[in-house]
Amino acid sequence: MKYIYTLLLVSVFLSSCSANKKKSVEDIIATNDLELIRQKKTELDASAQKISTQLKQLEKSIKNLDPQEKVPLITTFTAKETVFNHFVELQGNVNTKQNLVIYPEFSGVLSHVYVKEGQKVSKGQILAKIDDGGLSQQLSQLKIQSDLAKTTFERQERLWNQKIGSEIQFLQAKASYEAQLEATKQLQQQVGKTLVRAPFSGSIDDVITDQGSVVGPGQTPLFRIVNLNDMYIETDVPERYVSDITTGKDVKVNFPVLGKDVDAKVRQAGNFINPANRTFKVEIAIPGKDLAIKPNLTAKLKINDYTNNKAILIPQSIISENAEGQQYVYTITDKVENKAKVKREIIVTGKTQGDFIEVLSGIDNGEEIIDEGARSVKNGQQVKILVIKDAN
């Protein structure tokens, strides 16, 4: 009787498990029985793991049996001749040859200042006056004496021409007159130094010394005058570019602070190599008159040092190197529809620009080169072409 009772319990339990397996996930969730829900999840996890393992086995078997599954998939691009401009990237500063601090040529009190900051002035215009300490009065006296000496000389000359009087009197009158002229001229030059004049046309950028100050020649700065009509950018170029960067070369100029780009040209390339840093000076003219561009402004420069009108450019990422140090890429041959054979080509490269490099030999115009998938193919291998892309 006990055996029969145990058998009935086992039958009921198995019947219950079988019923649970037939229930859907939604039905089990609806029971709100945590133990039952966990049991169902465990069963499904085991089934998912088993199915995943079986799928991997099937995929591996398909790859081994189907030859089409072994063919690498690649993309290609066609090599095309194009104009290649290489640029040297440098940094320079804006300068102007007409940026000058004016110093006095005479000692004394700065009695008058006739200009203010920002004022435009013309060449030769009087900017300030220094007290001459009485030189003007001395000049007036010398002019009177000079006039008298002139009158005396003219009279002696007339008498001498009429053979009246002695030669020595004529020569003394002439010497006296010439001496007075020279003395007057020298004093005029001295008085002229008391007037501070603009050496060129431009704008007064700074009035450095105030009116009433005592100034000395070569010691006291008075004004800064600037002319922005003829600005240029100066930079130091490494000596290895001395034969490549010459007058007339194109330059792309960027002013980071202004967010502005300008196309310019090299107007002067220096002939002297600085032994301290092995560079030579280059000047780039700034076209136009942009008032936003100021002296000492920093500029980023791209100077054209090399041009190839029939260059073939390829991405640097597809280039490999063999044990001998030779560079190579993979091209395709025997192309039939989207199937082809891989061919390894040894190449010689030139200059780089960004992500691209110039191919000097090894690749012909119109040749099809493997791009994506280049690292996973071998010489002579069959491949399948997915896409033919543009080289650039």
Domain boundary, last residue among 256, 277, 305:
305
The CATH code of the domain that includes 284 is 2.40.30.170
**In this structure, are 75 and 107 located in the same domain?**
no
pLDDT recorded at residue 387: 75
**In this structure, are 365 and 301 located in the same domain?**
no
Helix (H/G/I), strand (E/B), else coil: 316: helix
The CATH code of the domain that includes 382 is 2.40.420.20
**In this structure, are 313 and 300 located in the same domain?**
no
DSSP 8-state symbol, 94: E
Q: Is 92 contained in some domain?
A: no
**In this structure, are 347 and 265 located in the same domain?**
no
pLDDT recorded at residue 17: 45
Helix (H/G/I), strand (E/B), else coil: 350: strand
- The residue count of the chain comes to 392
Helix (H/G/I), strand (E/B), else coil: 108: strand
Q: Is 89 contained in some domain?
A: no
Q: Is 91 contained in some domain?
A: no
pLDDT recorded at residue 66: 59
Q: Is 93 contained in some domain?
A: no
Q: Is the pLDDT of residue 96 over 50?
A: yes
Cβ–Cβ < 8 Å for 194, 106: yes
Domain that holds residue 198: 99-225
The region of weakest confidence among 3-12, 39-48, 216-225 is: 3-12
Q: Is 248 contained in some domain?
A: yes
Q: Is the pLDDT of residue 9 over 70?
A: no
- Taking the C-alpha atoms of 225, 228, 230 and 232 in order, what is their torsion angle to the nearest 10 degrees? 100
Q: Is 8 contained in some domain?
A: yes
pLDDT recorded at residue 69: 52
Q: Is the pLDDT of residue 158 over 60?
A: yes
Can you read off the two tokens belonging to residue 215?
A: 């100034």
The CATH code of the domain that includes 142 is 2.40.50.100
What percent of the chain lies above the pLDDT cut of 70? Answer: 91
**In this structure, are 18 and 128 located in the same domain?**
no
Q: How confident is the model over 99-118, as a mean pLDDT?
A: 90
Query: Confidence band (pLDDT; 50, 70, 90) for 236?
Result: very high
Angle between helices 34-65 and 2-22 (to 10 degrees): 60
How many structural domains compose the chain? 4
Query: Confidence band (pLDDT; 50, 70, 90) for 1?
Result: very low
Domain boundary, last residue among 207, 225, 243:
225
**In this structure, are 314 and 367 located in the same domain?**
yes
Can you read off the two tokens belonging to residue 40?
A: 């169902």
Cβ–Cβ < 8 Å for 194, 132: yes
Q: Is the pLDDT of residue 183 over 50?
A: yes
**In this structure, are 347 and 298 located in the same domain?**
no
pLDDT in tens, 286-309: 887 777 888 889 999 999 999 999
* Of 330, 333, 339, residue with least CA distance to 379: 330
Domain boundary, last residue among 225, 248, 280:
225
**In this structure, are 105 and 217 located in the same domain?**
yes
**In this structure, are 288 and 315 located in the same domain?**
no
**In this structure, are 131 and 174 located in the same domain?**
yes
pLDDT recorded at residue 5: 38
**In this structure, are 338 and 380 located in the same domain?**
yes
Q: How confident is the model over 191-214, as a mean pLDDT?
A: 88
Question: Taking the mean position of all CA atoms in its chain, how far away is CA 41?
Answer: 63
pLDDT recorded at residue 70: 65
pLDDT recorded at residue 265: 93
- Taking the C-alpha atoms of 79, 83, 88 and 92 in order, what is their torsion angle to the nearest 10 degrees? -140
pLDDT in tens, 33-90: 888 888 888 888 888 888 888 888 877 776 666 555 567 888 999 999 999 999 999 9
pTM as predicted: 0.58
Can you read off the two tokens belonging to residue 26?
A: 């939604």
Higher pLDDT, 310 or 391: 310
Q: Is the pLDDT of residue 14 over 50?
A: no
The mean pLDDT value of the chain amounts to 84
Q: Is the pLDDT of residue 7 over 70?
A: no
Q: Is the pLDDT of residue 134 over 80?
A: no
pLDDT recorded at residue 22: 59
Q: Is 94 contained in some domain?
A: no
**In this structure, are 116 and 213 located in the same domain?**
yes
Q: Which residue has the tokens 């002439």?
A: 174
